[in-house]
Amino acid sequence: MATSGTGPGQSASQSNDPTAETEILNVVVERDGQKVSTKWGLHPNLKDELKPEEWKELTEIMGKVTTIVGTRFSKVLGDAEERTAGTA
């Protein structure tokens, strides 16, 4: 998720900095009340360059990654809510 050298909404190709980085892979965890969802994305140019078997392998690996990250986020969130819940 590195985007150093670029401003908001500005891609690395739009930057004048030749060392600017481009985001090629990201994982996003979102919370909506008690529901937690985890998604991942890949830069379209990289996706186009992958062979079908590489895309399948990456999809399987990233499925595992998002499960681990989402589960961990849910646990941390649940632990934090337990600590803030008061008793009468």
Q: Which residue has the higher pLDDT, 42 or 82?
A: 42
Task: Provide the token pair at 62.
Answer: 């990233």
Give me the sign of the Cα torsion angle 38, 44, 49, 53. positive
The mean pLDDT value for 70-77 works out to: 87
pLDDT in tens, 17-58: 767 788 889 988 888 877 888 899 999 999 899 999 999 999
Task: Choose from 4-18, 46-60, 65-79 the range with maximum mean pLDDT.
Answer: 46-60
Closest CA to 62 of 47, 77, 45, 78: 47
- The yes-or-no verdict on residue 86 having pLDDT over 50 is yes
Helix ranges restricted to H, 1-88 = 44-49, 52-84
Q: Per-residue pLDDT for 2 more than 60?
A: no
